[in-house]
């Protein structure tokens, strides 16, 4: 079926998207790359990606008769994200969860297209809660070019783009690929604190701080803790160093934050110590609706311990010592690591070792004591 492309674009822009493109409803050659990436184990413990691989690479499993993707992007560039007093947070995560805000805008767009005559249920909606290769779809719809950081960068808006999409049965004129390339630049590859960009366009998630601080449920590998620096949740280094950053402001798009890009109140009131001491009631009362929920409460407390260790701030010591008695061994292990950085002569390490029964935590306590 047909619908005026100009109307689709207008409706999408009205929903607050900054970029709209039309492209094929399949990931094309990117599907093979995705499968090779999985085969190489680069997804780490994100088993859901492998579980959904078949759906991700087979558009006919999304809706019957998919013909086009309406690719959408929101420019979320803005000031660096951090808790008051320190502890950096990836910019996308400062606001309310984009799965909700972009999801709502995308669903509203679907309803508007249904009001224009598209049959109900004929359109599938992103963003990334559903298994789709969103970058591939955006690239093929001309939203941006594939950058060496693996991201989709708009030549006019830059790299801070969140993606969403509608998979439709509509016949829409496909957009040309976006102009622009990384050229000879390699800044992101050099600046990545963990060497996670293992080749141009390819990230080994297991080394990426966005994986270790958000998706990983267990211990952060020891060799990635110091490179984490002061990143509490996610990492923006490969976007910050990119020469395309700042294009959004030049295009008049990012100086003012729309309401749903304003920082979540928890991120304006909690400090790193507050996060370390976060109990279950406060987690539910204060942190609902932020993307940081994805890390789980004790995962976020684990991250806070690593950052406090890296900051080597002795005023954090009393809280770290209290956390040596935490019920969760994951937290105790990272707290022992942190005390080893802040104050390895702290007597509480010895007494904790005397009562500790978990073998991983015992090892962490011994490692910390060896730094004396």
Query: How far is 332 from 336, CA to CA, in rounded Å?
Result: 6
Q: Does 24 bind ligand SF4 (CB under 6 A)?
A: no
34 binds, among ligand SF4, ligand B12, none (CB under 5 to 8 A by kind): ligand B12
Collapsing DSSP to helix, strand or coil, 82 comes out as: strand
Q: Does 294 bind ligand SF4 (CB under 6 A)?
A: no
Complex with ligand SF4: residue 114 or 230, whichever CB lies closer: 230
Complex with ligand SF4: residue 19 or 182, whichever CB lies closer: 182
128 catalytic? Reply is yes
39, 31 Cβ separation under 8 angstroms: no
The catalytic position among 26, 54, 97, 128 is: 128
Q: How far is the CB of 188 from ligand B12 (least distance, A)?
A: 7
Q: How far is the CB of 156 from ligand B12 (least distance, A)?
A: 13
Query: For 280, how many CA atoms within 13 A lie in the half-sphere containing its CB?
Result: 3
String of DSSP letters for 136-178: HHHHHTTS-EE-TTSSEEBTTTBS-EEEEEEEES-B-PPPPPP
128 binds, among ligand B12, ligand SF4, none (CB under 5 to 8 A by kind): ligand B12
Write out the residues near ligand B12 by the rule CB under 6 A: 27, 30, 33-34, 37, 46, 49, 90, 92, 127-128, 132-136, 146, 149-152, 161-163, 201-203, 205, 208, 210-211, 214-215, 234-236, 238
Angle at 240 between CA 237 and CA 246, to 5 degrees: 165
Q: How far is the CB of 290 from ligand SF4 (least distance, A)?
A: 19
324-353: which residues touch ligand SF4 (CB under 6 A)? none
Q: Does 139 bind ligand SF4 (CB under 6 A)?
A: no
String of DSSP letters for 316-329: GHHHHHHHTT-S-H
Cβ neighbors of 16 (< 8 A, separation 6 or more) are 74, 105, 258, 260
Query: How far is 220 from 235, CA to CA, in rounded Å?
Result: 15
Question: Quick one: which of 148, 206, 301, 332 contacts ligand SF4 (CB under 6 A)?
Answer: 148
Q: Does 152 bind ligand SF4 (CB under 6 A)?
A: no
Complex with ligand B12: residue 20 or 136, whichever CB lies closer: 136
Complex with ligand B12: residue 9 or 201, whichever CB lies closer: 201
* Count, residues near ligand SF4 per rule CB under 6 A: 24
181-200: which residues touch ligand SF4 (CB under 6 A)? 182, 185-188, 192-194, 196-197
* Angle between helix 329-342 and 347-355 (nearest 10): 150
Question: Based on the number of CB atoms within 10 Å of its own CB, is 119 exposed (0-12), middle (13-18) or buried (19 or more)?
Answer: exposed
Residue 81 token pair: 């994200």
162 binds, among ligand B12, ligand SF4, none (CB under 5 to 8 A by kind): ligand B12
Q: In the chain, what is the straight-line distance between the N-terminal and C-terminal CA atoms, in Å?
A: 72
Cβ neighbors of 342 (< 8 A, separation 6 or more) are 308, 309, 312, 313, 314, 316, 317, 320
Complex with ligand B12: residue 209 or 349, whichever CB lies closer: 209
String of DSSP letters for 174-238: PPPPPP---TT--HHHHH-TT--EEETTEE-GGG-HHIIIII--SPPPGGGHHHHTTEEE---HH
Query: Distances in Å between the alpha carbon of 220 and those of 68, 276, 307, 337?
Result: 41, 16, 12, 11
135 binds, among ligand B12, ligand SF4, none (CB under 5 to 8 A by kind): ligand B12
Complex with ligand SF4: residue 130 or 198, whichever CB lies closer: 198
163 binds, among ligand B12, ligand SF4, none (CB under 5 to 8 A by kind): ligand B12
Q: Mask 205-244, x = binds ligand SF4 (CB under 6 A)?
A: ---xxx------------------------x-xx--xxxx
Contact residues toward ligand SF4 (CB under 6 A) are 147-149, 182, 185-188, 192-194, 196-197, 203, 208-210, 235, 237-238, 241-244
Positions annotated as catalytic residues are 128
């Amino acid at each position: 079926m047909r619908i005026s492309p100009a109307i689709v674009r207008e409706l999408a822009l009205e929903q607050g998207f900054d970029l709209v493109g039309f492209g094929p409803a399949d990931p094309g050659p990117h599907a093979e790359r995705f499968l090779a990436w999985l085969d190489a184990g680069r997804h780490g413990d994100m088993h859901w990606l492998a579980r959904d691989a078949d759906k991700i690479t087979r558009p006919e499993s999304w809706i019957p008769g998919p013909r086009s993707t309406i690719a959408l992007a929101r420019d979320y560039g803005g000031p660096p994200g951090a808790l008051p007093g320190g502890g950096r947070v990836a910019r996308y995560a400062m606001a309310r969860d984009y799965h909700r805000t972009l999801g709502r805008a995308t669903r509203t767009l679907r309803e508007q297209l249904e009001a224009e005559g598209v049959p109900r249920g004929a359109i599938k909606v992103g963003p990334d809660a559903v298994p789709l290769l969103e970058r591939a779809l955006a690239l093929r719809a001309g939203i941006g070019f594939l950058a060496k950081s693996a991201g989709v960068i708009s030549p006019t808006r830059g790299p801070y783009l969140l993606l969403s999409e509608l998979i439709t049965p509509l016949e829409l004129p496909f957009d040309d690929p976006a102009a622009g390339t990384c050229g000879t630049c390699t800044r992101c590859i050099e600046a990545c604190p963990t060497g996670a960009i293992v080749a141009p366009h390819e990230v080994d998630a297991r080394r990426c701080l966005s994986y270790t601080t958000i998706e990983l449920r267990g211990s952060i590998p020891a060799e990635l803790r110091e490179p984490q620096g002061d990143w509490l949740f996610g990492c923006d280094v490969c976007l910050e160093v990119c020469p395309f950053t700042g294009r959004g402001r030049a295009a008049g798009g990012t100086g003012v934050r729309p309401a749903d890009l304003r920082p979540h109140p928890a991120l304006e009131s909690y400090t790193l110590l507050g996060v370390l001491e976060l109990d279950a009631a406060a987690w539910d009362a204060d942190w609902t609706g932020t993307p940081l929920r994805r890390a789980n409460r004790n995962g976020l407390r684990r991250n806070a311990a690593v950052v406090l260790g890296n900051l080597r701030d002795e005023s954090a010591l009393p809280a770290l010592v209290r956390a040596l008695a935490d019920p969760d061994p994951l937290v105790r292990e990272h707290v022992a690591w942190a005390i080893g950085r802040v104050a390895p002569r702290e007597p509480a390490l010895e007494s904790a070792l005397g009562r500790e029964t978990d073998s991983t935590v015992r090892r962490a306590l011994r490692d910390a004591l060896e730094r004396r």
